Amino acid sequence: MYFDMKPISLKEIRTEIEALEKEIRLQRSLLEGIPEPFFILSREGDFLRVNPRGVELLGYPAEELRERVLMDVVSLEDLHRVREGLEEMAQGKKSRFRLQIISGFGERIPVEFFGVLREGAFFIMLTDMRERMEIEEELERSKKEFAEKIRERDLYARELQVTRDLYKEKLKEIEVMKEEALRLSYTDDLTGIYNHRFFVEQLTREVERHRRYSTPLSLLMIDIDYFKHYNDANGHLAGDQVLKAIALLIERGVRQTDVVARYGGEEFTAILTNTERTGAFEIAERVRRNVADTRFPNESAQPDKDLTVSVGVATISSSISTLTDLIREADHALYRAKKAGRNRTEG
């Protein structure tokens, strides 16, 4: 069989090469023109392409990123969620969630992750949540400026109403962002109460308020008695249920103005604002009784035949004047309650 193949001229080859180069430049231009950090990953999570905004966000040169995988820049606590997201995309689904990345400078950056699978690769876009915080601050500044103008001028009723409606919408957006940020940053995943980070920040503010205005301030340190024994005997799932239940009982025992947080493990804490020593002991005893009077599954197998808590109380004073002093004093009181037989309050 004979094929009459027409030879390709050098001019035609050059034309095709120029067309390919033009297409490559166009693709590169499109990638660089995307305003958000954008990444193309292999199915294994390797960085294949990164636009300039992505390089800027992650803080690594593009060449160095190609030697890394996505998991290298994700915070440890978010690794599991990212793996789930990659699995969702591999199944042809869109994946959207929030996480924290660790930049090349060691900075933890909150971002929103959005990704899809296209042409055998993952297309990922990250939205820097810090910008939303700046927007929130800008909205607050705008609110003050508008309010000042409203006070200074006698605006027409229609203009005033339009401005108020605009503020209402913006305030709703701000509240949504605030609630979401607090949920991610300040809430204990298991119990739903505040975490250790929020506790430290809030106690710092309350100690400073005491220094300025001499407002009373007390602190409770609460520990579940023989929790390890209960956990070992009944399993971690049952132990988790006990932690959730006791967190709720503590919240019921304090006032709405008080702050309850999980200090760590089976230990909780409560910041009692505007509370002297006597009032703090009353609240501590109410919390202790709430737990002691509650029936928990299999608690009869506990060393004391009951699942209880011990409470340490500390009140700020001239000799206990710093955050560290207050925590140390409450912790020492908790130790005395444990040593004296547990299921008691000491201060």
pTM of the model: 0.51
Alpha-carbon gap, residue 286 to 292, rounded angstroms: 10
CATH number of 196-346, picked from 3.40.50.150, 1.10.3720.10, 3.30.70.270, 3.40.50.300: 3.30.70.270
Q: Which CATH number fits domain 10-129: 3.30.450.20, 3.40.50.1000, 3.40.50.620, 3.40.50.2300?
A: 3.30.450.20
Q: Please compute the mean of the pLDDT values over residues 129-146 and round it to a whole number.
A: 82
> What's the rounded Cα separation, in Å, for the pair 167 and 150?
13
Which pLDDT tens digit goes with each residue over 66-112? 889 999 999 999 999 999 999 999 999 999 999 999 999 999 999 99
Task: Report whether 247 contacts 192 (CB < 8 A).
Answer: yes
Q: Which of 5-19, 23-37, 91-105 has the lowest mean pLDDT?
A: 5-19
Whether residue 61 contacts residue 105, with contact meaning beta carbons closer than 8 Å, is answered with no
* pLDDT at 2 exceeding the cut of 90: no
Classify strands 108-118 and 95-102 as parallel, antiparallel or unpaired.
Answer: antiparallel
Does 306 score more than 80 pLDDT? yes
| Distance from C-alpha of 174 to C-alpha of 167, rounded to nearest angstrom | 10
Domain coordinates in residue numbering, the chain: 10-129, 131-185, 196-346
Active site amino acids = 266
| Secondary structure class of 102 (helix, strand, coil) | strand
> What percentage of the chain has pLDDT greater than the value 70?
88
Lookup result for tokens 């006990």: 242
One-letter identity of residue 77: E
pLDDT digits (tens, 9 = 90+) for 183-226: 778 999 999 999 999 999 999 999 999 999 999 999 999 999 99
Higher pLDDT pick, 155 / 110:
110
**3-state SS assignment for residue 6:** coil
Q: Where are the alpha helices (DSSP H) in 44-156?
A: 52-58, 62-65, 79-90, 129-152
The pLDDT value recorded for residue 307 is: 96
> pLDDT band for position 136 (50/70/90)?
confident
